[in-house]
Amino acid sequence: MTSKILVTENLTVSFDGFKALKNLNFSLEPGELRVVIGPNGAGKTTFLDVITGKVQPTSGRILFKGQNLRRQTEEQISRLGIGRKFQTPRVYLNLTCWQNLELSYHARKSVWGTLFPRPPRDERRHLGHLLEIIGLVPQAQSRAALLSHGEKQRLEIGMLVAQSPNLLLVDEPVAGLTDEETGKVGELLLTLAETHSILVIEHDMEFVRQIARQVTVLHEGTILCEGTIEQVQADPRVIEVYLGQPQE
């Protein structure tokens, strides 16, 4: 048995012979906040796709809370407690913030939840607390369409948390946000890290500096190095792959 929340062992994903991930050995401690960085095409999105069951491993395996995810569907993996936030917000624009959270809260139909539904009073308290955490109490009754891009990102993170996952996978949460909004999303992830394991993929190095404790650098489908942000930024191999990238 392992005490890690997530482990990948020799994980390989091939697309028609092209290996997007090559023998990847990765692990995450319960309660850890990890940031994965890497140049375009490094395999970051594929890494999230294979954890969530969107693509299947070609070889190797993934263990979540010690359980092999082999042949589990996306739906099953999500019910096991892995929540994924995609890059663009997927909120219901015509519903209020509160209604969006309520929907997500009910979306997780576990057998346990159906047998022992929480009383409505508990639900209101729970969702109210969540609104505070995501900093959207004043917007509770506003339609999501009226939110700024950063507020939508925070709402969607709240919707993810409403489904009570143990592990949150967050793909580039601050792309296109202002500095102020970026700071707020960073604070939110730090708060959530007190109660969840979180894996964040990010490009924005300022943001990585704000939130990161441990950083994993992916390059050509394998781990180039791991360490604190200072350690990885000083690593000549990391400098080389970043400098070797065409400027956008």
Q: Does 89 bind ligand ADP (CB under 6 A)?
A: no
For the chain, the helix, strand and coil percentages under 3-state DSSP, each to the nearest 5: 40, 25, 35
Closer to ligand ADP at the Cβ: 155 or 174? Answer: 174
Q: The tokens 């015509």 sit on which residue?
A: 94
At position 65, the amino acid (one-letter code) is K
Q: Which of residues 48-67 bind ligand ADP (CB under 6 A)?
A: none
Closer to ligand ADP at the Cβ: 25 or 191? Answer: 25
Contact present, 133 and 72 (Cβ < 8 Å) = no
Partner that binds at residue 116, options Mg ion, ligand ADP, none, CB closer than 5 to 8 Å by kind? none
Distance CA 66, CA 1 (A): 6
Please state the closest distance from residue 175 (CB atom) to ligand ADP, in A: 12
Output the DSSP codes for 148-187: -HHHHHHHHHHHHHHT--SEEEEE-TTTT--HHHHHHHHH
Give the x/- contact pattern for Mg ion in 23-52, rule: CB under 5 A. ---------------------xx-------
The count of other CB atoms within 10 Å of the CB of residue 105 is: 20
Nearest residue to 80 (alpha-carbon basis) of 102, 70, 61, 65: 65
Closer to ligand ADP at the Cβ: 38 or 135? Answer: 38
Residue from the set 12, 37, 44, 188 that interacts with ligand ADP by CB under 6 A: 44
Please state the closest distance from residue 41 (CB atom) to ligand ADP, in A: 4
Closer to ligand ADP at the Cβ: 180 or 248? Answer: 248
User: What residues line the site for ligand ADP (CB under 6 A)?
Assistant: 15, 18, 20, 38, 40-46
